[in-house]
Structure 1
Amino acid sequence: MLGCVPARDHLALALDVPDRSAALALVERFGADFGVMKVGLELFLAVGPQIVRDIVSAGSRVFLDLKLHDIPNTVEHAARCAGEMGVWLLTLHTQGGPDMLAAGARGLSDGAASARRSAADAGSGAEVPIALGVTVLTSDADAPSEALIGRARLAERAGCDGVVCAAPDLAVVTDTVPGMLRVVPGIRPAGAPSADQRRVATPAAAIGAGADVLVIGRAVTAAPDPDAAAAAIVAEVAAALGQP
């Protein structure tokens, strides 16, 4: 779905640290290799929403992975705040149902539009944010395909423009909702430990199966040589995309 774009724009680095300085150090260190920075629950709760603004100001796109799941009104207002902060990707849990998903997608879009109107460079073509419906967690090895299909269709009907799914589910998701952005966590280079994730794949395999954005964290940040690990992943993705 991302088309012919550099390998780095297919890569999101999970900033799974509880410290602002450590997170921004990762952004600076790996910003050339990873076009997207993922802020999850740990960092967001430890540091607060300012970290999103800091990363956006540093020139990186932000994937805010909070898996919002609450009543529609609450999710809509929270998503609006995310849109106002400049978030590119925001996760909504599909178990919240169609009204909640629609409210979240609407809030994210409205927040981004409000930010563009109030910015000094309004109308400059800021990137449109994408609400992602979370289908099945990568730690769930026993989820039935019926749940995956139903949740992907639900996300599409509710107005989400993307889904989060495991690499083994890409074929089913692509057949079910072919026009949606496919974000895939649980990415591990060959030989790397899977840790608490059960539904994993290599970067090349995930790209080959149709992934648009790969989420990678400990495979780089906990590697013996993080810079070498990042470079190897970028090279593997570029090769899978047929890029020099």
Structure 2
Amino acid sequence: MGPVIIALDFRDANETLTFLDQFKQQSDLFVKVGMELFYFEGPAILRELKRRGIRVFLDLKLYDIPNTVEQAMFQLGQQGVDMVTVHAAGGAEMMRRARIGLDQGSQIAGVSAAKLLAITQLTSTSEQQMQSEQLVSVPLAKAVTHLAQLADASGADGVVSSALEDRQIHAATRDEFLCINPGIRLATDVADDQKRVVTPSDARRLGSNGLVVGRTITQAPDPIAAYQTVLQEWRMTK
């Protein structure tokens, strides 16, 4: 898995592919396609990325009634992507149905089933915000760990969460359960709209199974150098 997934937070295919042209010499590239890009380009951008031999994390954060999520995952399962997301807050039945739809779609298309990841709490959400706006009264780490256990029991392969919660999640779930972490910044970066951020080396020490890194790489003066810096931090940390 991973370890570094580049978040392609671009408006369209032209911007995206122009950016990726800089990485032609990089092997085993892994990228994240989110709502902005997918809603404009649709499955065509996924096909182009796969044609280039790039692994794809499709991050649409599905959250709806179980039947709707199952049918949507059936469609996404046919796209040949490597990871997809739902919101764990949608509940156990929704996640179980997502797993069913994803597996059936991939089987029909003759492709490997994507890893199903559940969103716990966004890294832009603070504990105070969670408690005051969502009326979740327990500490944030406890809420996240609970959702991770629910996701594990419902057939998900892992969660998307802050690396700050990785150790507790790993302790509470099966050994192969994944923690994929956004909110990654180099020590010299600003946090922007993220509340719970860590460096690549800290994430590795905390038990991360993969990093999602956006602006640190995509908005760097030299994206290749920034990508290599993140990789080096990850590889040098035990």
TM-score by length of 1: 0.87
Whether 2:162 is the aligned partner of 1:166: answer yes
Instruction: For structure 1, list consecutive stretches of 5 or more residues without a partner in the other structure.
Output: 3-8, 117-125
Amino acid at match of 2:193: D
- On the 8 A contact 2:145/2:165 being kept in 1, the answer is no
Residue of structure 1 aligned with 2:67, choices 69, 73, 81: 73
Q: Percent identity between the aligned chains? A: 38
Which residue does the alignment assign to 2:11?
Answer: 18
How far the C-alpha of 1:34 sits from its partner, in A, is 6.3
After the TM superposition, list the runs of 4 or more consecutive aligned residues in structure 1 that deviate by more than 6 angstroms: none
Residue of structure 1 aligned with 2:118, choices 133, 144, 148: 133
Deviations, residues 68-91 of structure 1 (Å, cap 9, x unaligned): 001111111111111100011101
> Mapping of 1:68-217 within 5 angstroms?
68-116=62-110, 127-142=112-127, 143=130, 144-179=140-175, 180-217=177-214
2:233 and 2:27 mapped to 1: Cα distance?
Answer: 12
| Residues matched between the structures, number | 225
- Note closer, same or farther for the CA distance 1:165–1:149 as it changes in structure 2 (3 Å cut): same
1:145 and 1:216 mapped to 2: Cα distance?
Answer: 22
Which residue does the alignment assign to 1:121?
Answer: none
How far the C-alpha of 1:33 sits from its partner, in A, is 6.3
Secondary structure of the equivalent of 2:212?
strand
- On the 8 A contact 1:11/1:36 being kept in 2, the answer is yes
Amino acid at match of 1:145: A
Deviations, residues 77-111 of structure 1 (Å, cap 9, x unaligned): 11111110001110110111111111111111111
How far the C-alpha of 1:27 sits from its partner, in A, is 3.1
Which residue does the alignment assign to 1:27?
Answer: 20
- On the 8 A contact 1:27/1:37 being kept in 2, the answer is no
TM-score by length of 2: 0.89
2:229 and 2:141 mapped to 1: Cα distance?
Answer: 33
How far the C-alpha of 1:230 sits from its partner, in A, is 1.3
